[in-house]
Amino acid sequence: MARVSTILMATILGTLAGACAHGQQSDPRVTDPIEIPDAELVEMVRDASDCPFGDAGELLRALEAADEGLRTFSAQVRWDRTFRLQGDRHTRLGELFFEVKPDPEGGEDLRTFAVDFRNLIIDDVQRTDRSQWIFDGQWLIEKIERDKKYIARRLAKGEERIDPLRLGEGPIPLPIGQKADEMQARYETELLPAGDGLRIDPAEAFPEEIEEAAALLEFVAGTCQLRLVPREAFAESDQFTEIRLWYRPDTLQPRMALTVNRQGDESVVRLIGVRTNEEIPEEVLSTAPPPDDEGWDVIVDEGRFAPDVEGEQDG
């Protein structure tokens, strides 16, 4: 299996976080893969670390090199988001797909992806609630099945190549193939033990908080943790105030990500069953709108490529 240096922080725009119930039936393809371990693991795993890298720069360079030869990447995703002001917690379960298509003329590769969330958990109740994001290199598609809404946003045109997942900038940050020096230019980087940042005081926590901390610590046991904090020049433009990433040291596959945004909301993304360089079905990355007779609301946003906007830029 090819090595992968995926940095995944799935803070998927606030529109997904506010989704509500639509039926009670769960999708049998996507289930909660996380088993809550005994709370004693909080102490056992807290400071354990098998990371062989000497510092953050060494890990970043290894991650950059690990992307060579990567063509496809897919995994199951569990995304937990806690809203600081409301105190609410939403959990989404789904799948992630990423594909790199080489330019036949030797130019820059085309990067496409799809994130397909099928289930939503609120108050321990799991419901079918499907939301999708798909990017084909030019158009970013948002599909909300509950509302029958299809939104197409043009992000590029012609031969232009963009990276809509670039860490700290894109609407759905999933930077693959980022350069180590670019990462260090934007962020203060630090290599930390796997359990750092996940500590809680059992004497001051509720039982469910202890169980959740234990689950996270078990999930990242034996990984390398990379902490990123925006440098002063990017602090105002970056949507995150802190990013923590965990990688398997043997394969450099991503394991988990934790982000805190400027509103104080915390997101934890766990990747399960990572697969690389396996064929992705064509329909997964299809951006075709639903048939007209299905009653979907189709919205097309040309953005900066709208005729009036392009005319202003040309003038």
Q: Does residue 6 lie in a domain region? A: no
Global confidence as pTM: 0.79
CA-only gyration radius of the chain, Å: 20
In this prediction, residue 311 carries a pLDDT of 54
Q: Does residue 38 lie in a domain region? A: yes
Residues 122, 99: Cα–Cα separation, whole Å: 31
Tell me, what CATH number does 197's domain have?
2.50.20.10
Is the pLDDT confidence value at 16 over 90?
A: no
Is the pLDDT confidence value at 227 over 80?
A: yes
In this prediction, residue 179 carries a pLDDT of 80
Are the C-beta atoms of 127 and 119 separated by less than 8 Å?
yes
Q: Does residue 2 lie in a domain region? A: no
Q: Does residue 227 lie in a domain region? A: yes
pLDDT digits (tens, 9 = 90+) for 43-58: 444 445 578 999 999 9
Q: Does residue 267 lie in a domain region? A: yes
Q: Does residue 101 lie in a domain region? A: yes
Q: Does residue 8 lie in a domain region? A: no
pLDDT digits (tens, 9 = 90+) for 128-183: 999 999 999 899 999 999 999 999 999 888 888 877 666 665 545 555 567 889 88
Is the pLDDT confidence value at 188 over 50?
A: yes
Is the pLDDT confidence value at 193 over 80?
A: yes
Q: Does residue 7 lie in a domain region? A: no
Q: How far is CA 59 from CA 55, 72, 187, 265, 287, in A?
A: 7, 22, 14, 27, 35
Domain range enclosing 209: 13-306
Residues 179, 193: Cα–Cα separation, whole Å: 23
157-160's contacts with Cβ under 8 Å and 24+ in sequence apart are: 157/305, 159/107
Count of domains forming the chain: 1
Average pLDDT, integer, range 207-235: 91
Residues 156, 302: Cα–Cα separation, whole Å: 9
For residue 134, the number of C-alpha atoms closer than 13 Å in the C-beta half-sphere is 18
Is the CA virtual torsion 195, 198, 204, 209 positive or negative?
negative
In this prediction, residue 14 carries a pLDDT of 27
